[in-house]
Structure 1
Amino acid sequence: MTAIIQEWHLPPAALTLPRQTVHVWYVSLEQPAPLTHQLEQLLSSDERERAARFHFEHDRRRFIVGHGALRTLLGRYLQVEPTRLEFCYGAYGKPYLAEESTGGALRFNLAHSHELAVYAFTREGEVGIDIEHIHPLADLDHIAARFFSKAESTILLGLPEDQRLMAFFNCWTRKEAYIKARGEGLSHPLDQFQVSLIPGEPTQLLKVEGSPEEVSRWFMTAFVPSSWLCSHLNG
């Protein structure tokens, strides 16, 4: 199944998340110092230690805003104080809510690129999201040959020059969203499954080597906030 988000809406005062629904948010990580300080107070001691390890101040601030915003959103959905939320992590680093800190089931995923973060939330199944800033790549062909499936690389190289950059980022974000939804990270080789990538065509997971049933399990969506490209997957 495919869809594309064509319109963004301001959030309601009270957040509810019906079943069989995915909410997607995007947040600017460039926030004024007072708000950044407020968000920092929501972080756990572990998160503050991680923030302190960044070499550059702007990276530290973006981490604080990104994780503080995540806690704020989760707290609103679950009607729980953001500071009470506890996280656990899958074998390959995918974050989950520790059930004892929430009292309700909620799946989420997040990604960031430059000054923008995106979040996906759902009550059913798994969800993955990725975002990339679209920028010229001198080694686009080399990256595609290394990471994409043979079919994807062939399609990419056969496209007109003015479509190839968008097609590349279509492919990359969709692949990242898929492996993040599965919680496998790069332990799942990127060349072992195929996604759609031609600009203007439906956003789809097309093929998974050795697991043909996977294609029907996932719902994939693409959207473009500003000059970024983002894909999310729910199954």
Structure 2
Amino acid sequence: MRNEMRRVERLWRGTCRVSRIVIDATRNSPGVCRLATDCEPDWSFQNGAVHVMVRRLPTTREAVRAASALLSGVERQRANRFAFDRDRHRFIVARALLRRLLGARLGTRPEAVELVYGPHGKPALAPRHAPADLRFNLSHSEDLAAYAFAHGREIGVDVEAVRSMCDADAIAARFFSARENQTYLSLDSRDRPRGFFHCWTRKEAFIKALGDGLSCPLDRFDVSLAPGEPARILRLARAPGDGRRWRMESFAPAAGFVAALVAEDS
């Protein structure tokens, strides 16, 4: 197993790029986005920081085999549900890297990290692990994965490759709010793919931060989406008793990709 872990380290070491998104805990302080060059999160989370790591996912036979050895039985079952090998391999490597990162924080082997899942599938550390207030989220698109980590605040992250889709207008009409769809349709045709995925990643990141799945209707809130416009939640119809405040950031994890991060204000 030790040799296997060393092989995993070698396979992943050359694929690291970190986007460190720092959202200050003070509500009057704007979010700050900067790039770092280290390959591990800063676990101190100074000033209420949320750290987002971006990695390319190696899917060679050796990488997938080494990664699969770190997964739980539940994760392997989920991997087997993918229809295409490409998607299955990316899922396996992405989840194994999450385990490696969490294992480094907890001081335990990646395969010993125990995950539990909320009613809508949001992963969390099992209660037996400390610190229990370590929160995380992950997303991947094509061969790019983003991992978000925070201390004591709910977070959600989403990444997508920007691309033209023949059914984008129909998807926007169905899933965007009326205000979002109006803004989307007003964009120049050249800007629509980026505007579409700005909206999609921001809404998805917010839903993931809530942990409510699609039980939170997508038309209950509006987000900004026009290229060049800061990422913001423009409207939010709150559930009774929910007084939480949220911060949203958008970032470009790599050429041709957009991503969004949503974090609960602490």
User: With structure 2 as the length reference, what TM-score do the two structures score?
Assistant: 0.80
- Equivalent residue for 1:126? 154
- Equivalent residue for 1:179? 207
- Equivalent residue for 1:74? 102
Measured after TM superposition, the shift of residue 42 of structure 1 is 1.3
Q: What is the CA–CA distance in structure 2 between the aligned matches of 1:147 and 1:126, rounded to whole Å? A: 24
- Equivalent residue for 1:209? 237
Q: 1:7 aligns with which of 35, 54, 61?
A: 35
- Equivalent residue for 1:16? 43
- Equivalent residue for 1:226? 255
Q: 1:57 aligns with which of 59, 81, 85?
A: 85
Moved more, 47-56 or 23-32: 47-56
Aligned length: 234
- Equivalent residue for 1:32? 60
Superposition pairs of residues 83-162 of structure 1, within 5 angstroms: 83-162=111-190
Q: Secondary structure at the match of 1:107?
A: strand
Q: What is the CA–CA distance in structure 2 between the aligned matches of 1:195 and 1:132, rounded to whole Å? A: 16
- Aligned AA (1:148): F
- Structure showing greater relative contact order (alpha-carbon pairs closer than 8 Å, 6 or more residues apart): 1
- Equivalent residue for 2:11? none
- Unaligned runs of 5+ residues in structure 2 are 1-26
- Aligned AA (1:226): A
In structure 2, the CA distance between the partners of 1:233 and 1:149, relative to structure 1 (3 Å rule), is same
Measured after TM superposition, the shift of residue 135 of structure 1 is 0.7
Q: What is the CA–CA distance in structure 2 between the aligned matches of 1:115 and 1:209, rounded to whole Å? A: 35
Over residues 182-208 of structure 1, what are the superposed CA-to-partner deviations in whole Å (9 max), with x where a residue is unaligned? 001111111110011111111111111
In structure 2, the CA distance between the partners of 1:216 and 1:183, relative to structure 1 (3 Å rule), is closer
Moved more, 159-168 or 172-181: 159-168
- Equivalent residue for 2:216? 188
Contact 1:144 1:153 survives alignment (8 Å): yes
Q: What is the CA–CA distance in structure 1 between the aligned matches of 2:132 and 2:198, rounded to whole Å? A: 34
Over residues 81-111 of structure 1, what are the superposed CA-to-partner deviations in whole Å (9 max), with x where a residue is unaligned? 2122111111111111102134543111111
Runs of 4+ in 1 over 3 A off after TM superposition: 1-6, 52-55, 101-104, 210-216
Contact 2:179 2:222 survives alignment (8 Å): yes
Q: What is the CA–CA distance in structure 1 between the aligned matches of 2:244 and 2:191, rounded to whole Å? A: 28
- Aligned AA (1:228): F
Q: Secondary structure at the match of 1:30?
A: coil
Q: Secondary structure at the match of 1:161?
A: coil
- Root mean square deviation of aligned Cα: 2.4
Contact 1:4 1:223 survives alignment (8 Å): no
- Unaligned runs of 5+ residues in structure 1 are none
Measured after TM superposition, the shift of residue 37 of structure 1 is 2.2
User: With structure 1 as the length reference, what TM-score do the two structures score?
Assistant: 0.89
Percent identical among aligned pairs is: 41
In structure 2, the CA distance between the partners of 1:140 and 1:75, relative to structure 1 (3 Å rule), is same
In structure 2, the CA distance between the partners of 1:49 and 1:141, relative to structure 1 (3 Å rule), is closer
Contact 1:156 1:168 survives alignment (8 Å): yes
Contact 1:206 1:215 survives alignment (8 Å): no
Contact 2:141 2:161 survives alignment (8 Å): yes
